[in-house]
Every structure is written in C-alpha cells, then in structure tokens.
Chains A and B, each alone.
Chain A
Amino acid sequence: GAVVSQHPSWVICKSGTSVKIECRSLDFQATTMFWYRQFPKQSLMLMATSNEGSKATYEQGVEKDKFLINHASLTLSTLTVTSAHPEDSSFYICSAREGGQGHNEQFFGPGTRLTVL
C-alpha cells in the first residue's frame, strides 16, 4: 500500500521558536496533501488542504500566518509552526491523496508530536 512518512516523529522546542514538519509520499505522487491536528483524547481536526504548486486552503479558525504550509513537489509538503507556544502542543498528522478519478483514499503519516515548553 501507499506509504506516507513524517519527520520528525516528535519534537520539543522552546516557546517562540519555529518548527518545521515534513510529510512525504514515498511511493506515489500526492496531488493533494492534508494537515490535521489532534489534541489529547480528541479527534483529528482538518487544518488545511494543499494542492501541489498552489497555496494551501485553511479551515476556519486556523491561522495561516502561524501554520505555514508549503507543497512544492508532488511528494513533499511541509508545515511550519511559527513562534510556537505551549497551546500549539499537539499531535500533527499529514495525509496524502493521489490525483485523478477513482483515487479516493487518503493515506496517513504516522504523526509528529510537538511539545512546546
């Protein structure tokens, strides 16, 4: 099956620093990538959708200047949490979908646990 990787798997940083998380589709070309956030004991919330080569579309309530998303190639998307604060501590999960008709399945990365001190 299709594999999506994330790096790093966990990160601890000081308040005010920026953190970049990478998401890669390893064996397919991901026309669309998604970023989700999951707080402890809660569900996954869609943050944004990005199509390769274009700007990401953010869900309501997600600050685009705080969560910078770049989808520069068909196999790589990055999420940068800028000026991170403790309330940004969460589990960030990316997902990728192949383009074209009939490609309905989203493949998920293993997640990145961010802890902001």
Chain B
Amino acid sequence: SQQGEEDPQALSIQEGENATMNCSYKTSINNLQWYRQNSGRGLVHLILIRSNEREKHSGRLRVTLDTSKKSSSLLITASRAADTASYFCATDALSSSNSGYALNFGKGTSLLVTP
C-alpha cells in the first residue's frame, strides 16, 4: 500500500508552543485525514480535508493540503501536555490491491509536549 511519509518522526516542544507536522504522499487522493493515537490505544479522528480544499480549521488544529506537491501539514496551536500522542496522516486512495478506496496511513509523528 502507498504509505505517506511524515516528518518529523518525533517532536518535543513545551506547552504553549505550536507544533507542526508534515505529511507527503504519492498517489491521487480522494481526501486526507489526520488521526491521533495515544500509546497503545485506538485512533481518534481529528480532521478530514477533501482534495478540492486547501485549508481547514478545527479548534486549535489547522490543516493544509497542497495536491500539486502531494503534501499536507497539521498545525496544533498553543499545545498542551494532553496533546502528547502519535499523529498520523491517512490518505483515502485506491488501495494497492485495487479493491477500492481505503485509508493508507503515514508513518506518524510522535509528539511530546512538556509542561
């Protein structure tokens, strides 16, 4: 499956700072989504941006999408210790098995927010 690349792999910041994570992908997409996962837990859906959208906001989250560069970014403003988690981008695209559309996940960014 096509898997996006995210950078950085790990990010450590202090509370109140902004955190920016980037995601790049390879094929055409229907939409791109960002998820959060606390250690050993399930996924939490954060935001979905469609291929014809360029920017989307949700609370302290801001997502951009540049389909010409096949890249997206997630910005978390005024971070809190509770934001500590792994963040994954996922592209909704045809799966490599051609069984239809499925979400393919990037490698993730591990965010640590220290008080």
A residues with CB within 8 A of B = 32, 34, 36, 42-46, 49, 51, 57-60, 91, 93, 95, 104-111, 113
- Select one of A34, A42, A46, A93 contacting B42, CB under 8 A: A93
**Which A residues touch B40, using CB under 8 A?**
91, 113
Question: Can you name the residue of chain B whose Cβ is closest to the Cβ of A47?
Answer: B1
Cross-chain contact A104 with B105 (CB below 8 angstroms): no
The 8 lowest CB-CB distance pairs between A and B, nearest first, are A57-B99, A110-B42, A49-B99, A44-B105, A108-B43, A43-B105, A57-B97, A111-B42
- Select one of B30, B33, B50, B102 contacting A46, CB under 8 A: B102
User: What per-residue 1/0 map shows which CB atoms of B84-115 lie under 8 Å from chain A?
Assistant: 00001000100111111111111110000000
Cross-chain contact A49 with B3 (CB below 8 angstroms): no
Question: Can you name the residue of chain B whose Cβ is closest to the Cβ of A40?
Answer: B40
Asked if B64 is at the interface of the complex by the 8 Å CB criterion, the answer is no
Question: Can you name the residue of chain A whose Cβ is closest to the Cβ of B99?
Answer: A57
Interface size on B (CB < 8 Å)?
29
Q: List 12 A-B contacts (CB under 8 A).
A: A43-B107, A45-B1, A46-B103, A49-B95, A49-B99, A49-B102, A59-B1, A104-B48, A104-B101, A106-B102, A107-B45, A108-B42
A35 CA to B54 CA in the complex, in Å? 30
Asked if B31 is at the interface of the complex by the 8 Å CB criterion, the answer is yes
**Which B residues touch A57, using CB under 8 A?**
95, 97-99
**Which A residues touch B48, using CB under 8 A?**
104-105
Question: Can you name the residue of chain B whose Cβ is closest to the Cβ of A91?
Answer: B40
- Select one of B88, B99, B103, B107 contacting A106, CB under 8 A: B103
